[in-house]
Amino acid sequence: MPTIYDNIELHLLDALRRSLHDARAADFCVGYFNLRGWGKLAGAVTARLDGSQDHCVRVLVGMHRTPDEEMRLAQRAGQQEVLLDGPTAARLRRRAAESFKEQLEFGVPTAEAERALQQLARQLRARQVRVRLFLRYPLHAKLYLVHRTDAIAPLVGYLGSSNLTQAGLSAQGELNVDVLDQDAAQKLQRWFDARWNDAFAFDISEELADLIETSWAREELVPPYLVYLKMIYHLSEEAREGEREFSLPGEFEGVLLDFQAAAVSLAAHHLHRRGGVLLGDVVGLGKTLMATAVAKIFQEDEGGNTLILCPPNLVSMWQQYVEHYGLIAHVLSIGRVLDELPILRRYRLVIIDESHNLRNREGKRYRAIREYIEANDARCLLLTATPYNKQFTDIGNQLRLFLDESQDLGLRPEQFFQAWGARGYNEADFIARFQASPRSLRAFEQSPHPDDWRDLMRLFLVRRTRRFIMANYAQYDAQEERYYVMLGNRRSYFPRRRPCNLTFTLDDTDPADQYARLYRDAVVDVIQNLSLPRYGLANYLRPGADRRANADEKRILENLNRAGRRLIGFSRTNLFKRLESSGSSFLVSLQRHILRNLVTLHALEHGLLTWKPSPSPTHR
């Protein structure tokens, strides 16, 4: 009566280990061979299995099909038997190699798996374990034959449903029986030998050993520098693909410098893949021209049109770019968005110049622009040299213009979740508290860690500094002692910044010398002693107001005191800077300051300032 091994009451793994203990050879035929799972049997391969022809473990792996493949083949019209030829066998062999490689790459590397794989590689090299791939037809058999020194039952077979995997041998419900009858066992052996010696059974032992020895499980330590190179290769993969994916429109050939053309291609790639990008090159590198080229690419490739939102003082400049490069575009001052966006036609691409001005998502203009982009399913190109001011939410709010806060980004803020886990929380706790995916913009907005934001911005930011451009795109002219980039056959030099002093004389006796008049001690004293009442409201409280104030009002009074001192100091500093700049700049600032005071006085005198009065007699 055969013994049943169902991995519930009796485990097949235990039976195989006992049988291999005194084995002189073994033959396994399986539909699936898990390389890490071999570690459960590797220790049972004793020195008696020395790797000679008759003393080894032979593993025959069938090219099994998944259930989905079986269903598609069964329902295919006009089924015909596929004849196996050399090219087909080579293709199947490559497919199997890719499958084994994916095994190594899948899952978290562990010390246990590393030891198991290293041991398998050594046994493959020593020929103690030999693996062949059977390609003549899909083979689903699960057969384990063990040749023992036992005189009564020298050949033991195990036949059933278990593949050569950890789960198949011990973890999941299976059905296997042992075959002790020697006549039956010999028939199984002849069946195995016929397939092992088939012309389309290929030895892949060396290939498997190579795969392991070039993977993370290799015994030879990899130099850290090579790890670094591989990391930056993969991190830069999207940037390299972006540069190859889009070609420049003809009118920009010979106009864009190499570093500008690279940024255009990468920005277009981000726009196409993610619907938005932030072009954040530092001032002076040509963001306006690059954005125009991106718009032209989508206009030519998709027949799209462009809406350009910009500060009022940049409208005329953008209009010139639109006309010069033939963009199908509309330029709109950002001050007009509340009036015009609700009735504006659909534009497929929205360019927002100086997007850092939209850091506050509670503003009316912000909401109007966000709603327009969402309603029209428009792509969004943000332009700013200063995407980040004081808080990481400055960046997050700009991304929210086109990015849904709950969208799965494919990565999470790792530094945040390390700290989150240290406090005893997990991803499920995060989802419950914030009602958002751990891989969403909402998750990144909880992180105070710069590394998390750097990871996020790899997906959406194109930003280079002058130092980066000079190091990677420019050449050095030793004679001129300056860096330059080539535009066609012409050199375009980077400006050489050298601080220098300009000296001039002041004549206190000359009434026409404006600098002598402005730089007098009396002017400095006036600025230093300005009372600036609009910024010093705390000076006009009724006597004893702080004693009669409730808790909320005391907080308001304290804020008045603190904010007033800071604003007064800021105003004085600004006037001093304008004075150092030029007499004309200083006078313009004074005129504007006086005008704002007059506007405030007019509003007070005519009851144009409204507020909700407090029941307490704290304020006038």
Residue range 153-195, pLDDT digits in tens? 899 999 999 988 888 888 778 899 999 999 999 999 999 999 9
Q: How far is CA 90 from CA 58, 70, 202, 208, 543, in A?
A: 22, 21, 10, 16, 95
Q: How far is CA 189 from CA 142, 173, 366, 468, in A?
A: 13, 26, 76, 67
Please determine, for residue 611, whether its predicted confidence score (pLDDT) is greater than 60. Answer: no
pLDDT at res. 241: 60
Q: Greatest CA separation found in the chain?
A: 127
CA atoms within 13 A on the CB side of 564: 18
Structure tokens at 271: 């726009």
Residues 6 or more apart from 73 whose CB is under 8 A from it?
65, 79
Residue 487 phi, psi dihedral angles, 5° rounding: -120, 95
| Cα dihedral sign, 320-325-330-333 | negative
pLDDT at res. 171: 77
**Residues 548-566: b if buried by 16+ CB within 10 A, e if exposed:** ebeeebeeebeebbeebee
pTM above 0.75, yes or no: no
Confidence at 502, pLDDT banded by 50, 70, 90: confident
Q: How far is CA 549 from CA 94, 557, 615, 618, in A?
A: 81, 9, 10, 6
Q: Tell me which amino acid residue 571 is.
A: S
Percent of the chain whose pLDDT exceeds 70: 92
For 435, the 3-state DSSP assignment is coil
Please determine, for residue 564, whether its predicted confidence score (pLDDT) is greater than 70. Answer: no
CB atoms within 10 A of CB 355: 26
For 407, the 3-state DSSP assignment is coil
Strand order in the sheet with 349-353: 329-333, 306-310, 349-353, 379-383, 276-279, 461-462
Q: Tell me which amino acid residue 79 is.
A: Q
Structure tokens at 415: 């530094």
For 228, the 3-state DSSP assignment is helix
pLDDT at res. 547: 80
What is the rounded CA–CA span in Å between residue 136 and residue 22? 33
Question: For 597-603, what is the mean pLDDT?
Answer: 86
- Start-to-end CA distance of the chain, whole Å, equals 103
* Whether 210 contacts 100, CB under 8 Å: no
Please determine, for residue 243, whether its predicted confidence score (pLDDT) is greater than 50. Answer: yes
Confidence at 609, pLDDT banded by 50, 70, 90: low
Stronger pLDDT, 612 or 52, i.e. the higher one:
52
What are the sequence ranges of the domains in the chain?
4-213, 248-405+445-464, 514-605
Angle, helices 521-528 vs 551-581, to 10°: value is: 160
* Whether 12 contacts 169, CB under 8 Å: yes
pLDDT at res. 157: 94
Among 190-204, 414-428, 477-491, the minimum mean pLDDT is found in: 477-491
Among 27-41, 99-113, 340-354, the minimum mean pLDDT is found in: 99-113
pLDDT at res. 34: 86
Question: What is the second-level CATH architecture of the domain 4-213?
Answer: 2-Layer Sandwich (3.30)
For 494, the 3-state DSSP assignment is coil
- Which DSSP state fits 29? E
Confidence at 414, pLDDT banded by 50, 70, 90: very high
* Whether 431 contacts 408, CB under 8 Å: no
What is the rounded CA–CA span in Å between residue 408 and residue 395? 18
Q: Which CATH superfamily is domain 248-405+445-464 in?
A: Tandem AAA-ATPase domain (3.40.50.10810)
* Whether 7 contacts 173, CB under 8 Å: yes
What is the rounded CA–CA span in Å between residue 550 and residue 33? 76
